[in-house]
Amino acid sequence: MKDIVIKPARNLVGSIRLPGDKSISHRYAMLAALAQGTTRLRNFSSGADCASTLGCLRSLEIEIVRANGEVTITGRGGELSAPRTALDCGNSGSTMRMLSGILAGQPFATEMIGDASLSRRPMRRIIEPLTQMGASISSEEGHAPLHIQGGKLQSIDYKPRVASAQVKSSLLFAGLLAEGETSVEEPVRTRDHGEVALRAFGAQISRDKNRVSIKGGQRLKAIEASVPGDISSAAFFLCAASLFPESNLVIDSLLLNPTRAVLLDVLTALGARVRMVQMEEQHGELVGTVALEAGPLKGIVLAGAQSAALIDEIPVLAAIAPYTRDGLVVHDARELRVKESDRIAAVARNLRAMGAAVTEHEDGLTVPGGQQLHGAEIDSEHDHRIAMAFSIAALRAKGETIIHGADAAQISFPEFFQMLEAVLER
């Protein structure tokens, strides 16, 4: 475990471009493996999670070359080979849940394993529907390791109880391999990268409100793409810039898909000035340049669909909330308890360590505004978003902060600390 010391900063000024979005990188890699031909991906996510996906695909005998800033993946038109060893998904829930949908449709057995955190995360949400489709999956009471015996799948019409884009993508990928038309109806709308990526690779998908459908047996074609910058990684910089009245931050080639860009609305509602320019569509994904200048930060209440859409950004929003005037209230974010760590508990504990008052709810938290934090020892709990969120809180604290387990940032954003230092003024 590596420690990093974060000193308070005076300002944040700079122009950056971020490594490719994690959600899109996973999906492009998996679909490239199913497609016919060689897919070329520039700006693929540099995080360990997406490397776990590539590692699993290599074990399924998909040829992958990573060189000169490009990942090339040669699909075999839907054919994969039985792996010789267990597929190691590392810390990546996306890898385990989405790849399960593909493995459910293969004529062989696979074992999927993960690290301690991933082995604690709920998998029944994919086991149940994939079993209904015809796969046979055993687990440790709903947790990894998963043993998947795939085979011929039947389509399904499914309403997941939890709002999860990973579950939706997993079932659409399985639906692609199934007989008939598979539909997934979400309780609230989640990120739509699975649908967008399937279309980019040539599949037809239909949508009616929150219900998405795919016909089985469609063939995918390889693509050439540049993965848009990760907006969940951008969140740390955008929130940091919001803390300094004189700040000026520009992020280009950033993913602006409306199902992911809710943070920009929230920062605007809080009082930051956010501009979006040079917007264009790339393989169905909206991409553009974002410029942010800080303004006095008010407060905000998040609930319902907004909490679901911001699920990965809530830790950093909570980490800057003490510095706002009116604070932050979050409800309907129960899913945070089953992420890489219990993020509600981890955020509350670490905010308290920095001297903040905070109330934990079963489905969220309340962080009052108008609080000055002091430097403290932060425990990342091996969770990348906790390590990065508290590095941002530390920028306006009194005194130095030590982030224990700062190397967790490798999971989604290995360049984080270096890029942050490059835009800070002290």
Site size for ligand S3P (CB under 6 A) = 10
Q: Please give the positions annotated as active site.
A: 312
Q: How far apart are CA 288 and CA 357, in angstroms?
A: 37
Considering the rule CB under 6 A, would residue 233 count as an interface residue with ligand S3P? no
Considering the rule CB under 6 A, would residue 257 count as an interface residue with ligand S3P? no
* Residue 24 vs 376, nearer CB to ligand S3P: 24
CA 189 to chain centre: 15
Q: How far is the CB of 392 from ligand S3P (least distance, A)?
A: 18
* Residue 165 vs 176, nearer CB to ligand S3P: 165
Considering the rule CB under 6 A, would residue 383 count as an interface residue with ligand S3P? no
SS3 343: helix
b/e map of 194-219 (b: 16 or more CB within 10 Å)? Answer: bbbbbebbebebeeeeeebbbbbebe
Considering the rule CB under 6 A, would residue 52 count as an interface residue with ligand S3P? no
AA identity, residue 108:
F
Backbone angles phi, psi at 282, to 5 degrees: -125, 115
Residue whose pair of structure tokens reads 């091996």 in the numeric block: 382
Contacting residue, 46, 91, 155, 164, with ligand S3P by CB under 6 A? 164
Contacting residue, 39, 94, 257, 401, with ligand S3P by CB under 6 A? 94
Q: How far is the CB of 79 from ligand S3P (least distance, A)?
A: 25
Contacting residue, 78, 177, 191, 341, with ligand S3P by CB under 6 A? 191
* Residue 166 vs 307, nearer CB to ligand S3P: 166
Inter-residue contact 119 to 144 (CB < 8 Å)? yes
**Do strands 205-208 and 181-185 pair parallel, antiparallel, or not at all (unpaired)?**
unpaired
Considering the rule CB under 6 A, would residue 23 count as an interface residue with ligand S3P? yes
Q: How far apart are CA 278 and CA 287, in angstroms?
A: 8
Residues 293-312 that bind ligand S3P (CB under 6 A): 311-312
Q: How far is the CB of 339 from ligand S3P (least distance, A)?
A: 6
Site string for ligand S3P, 168-187 (x = CB under 6 A): -x------------------
Contacting residue, 59, 166, 183, 401, with ligand S3P by CB under 6 A? 166
Composition of the chain by helix, strand, coil, percent to 5: 35, 30, 35
The length of the chain in residues reads 426
74, 132, 164, 228, 237 from 187: Cα distances, Å: 36, 19, 9, 27, 31
Site string for ligand S3P, 311-340 (x = CB under 6 A): xx----------------------x-----
Q: Over the Cα atoms of the chain, what is R_g?
A: 21
Q: Where are the alpha helices (DSSP H) in 146-230?
A: 165-177, 193-200
Site string for ligand S3P, 110-149 (x = CB under 6 A): ----------------------------------------
Q: Contact positions toward ligand S3P, by CB under 6 A?
A: 23, 94, 164-166, 169, 191, 311-312, 335
